[in-house]
Amino acid sequence: MGREAFVFPIQSHGSFAALVVDLEKPLMAWCMACSKTYNTLEQENEVLLFKGKIEMCSGLISPGPKHLCVGRESAPGTAGLWVDGNPTVRRSLEEEGILYEDRSQHCLGQEQESFGNDFDNNQSLVGDIGDVNLWDFVVTS
């Protein structure tokens, strides 16, 4: 995304940016830097980062600007979180397999209750998200 930013100036149930990627093949790993949620049709809130709370490890993020990076890997079935370049949490997950298909999306600035909709004013980001990157591998350092 470069130096652009998504700006969410007010609390809203309809302001968000959906990251849709045209894939040539399903991803077996992904890594993304920003504040966002990720849903698939089968699993709501697979990874959830919003309003300073990381669902898989709440309490690790202090207020203020942060560089967040979350990674999800099929084999060995793990997820990890980095804050300002430092690894904070790595969790084993029950499922292995394809992680990112044509029918999945990253939602920036809003917590989605179901795939691509059902937003709540109280779960919206007021602020900005910049330097959004998505890789097809997990960053290890």
**87-117 pLDDT, tens per residue?**
887 777 666 555 555 556 677 777 766 666 6
5-135 CATH pick, 2.60.120.200, 3.50.50.60, 1.20.1050.10, 3.20.20.70: 2.60.120.200
Residue 56 near residue 71, CB atoms below 8 Å: no
d(CA 18, CA 105): 7
| 45 DSSP β-pair partners | none
Alpha carbon distance 16, 7 (integer Å): 9
* pLDDT above 70 (res 60): no
What confidence tens digit (pLDDT) does each residue in 33-49 have?
Answer: 654 444 444 555 545 55
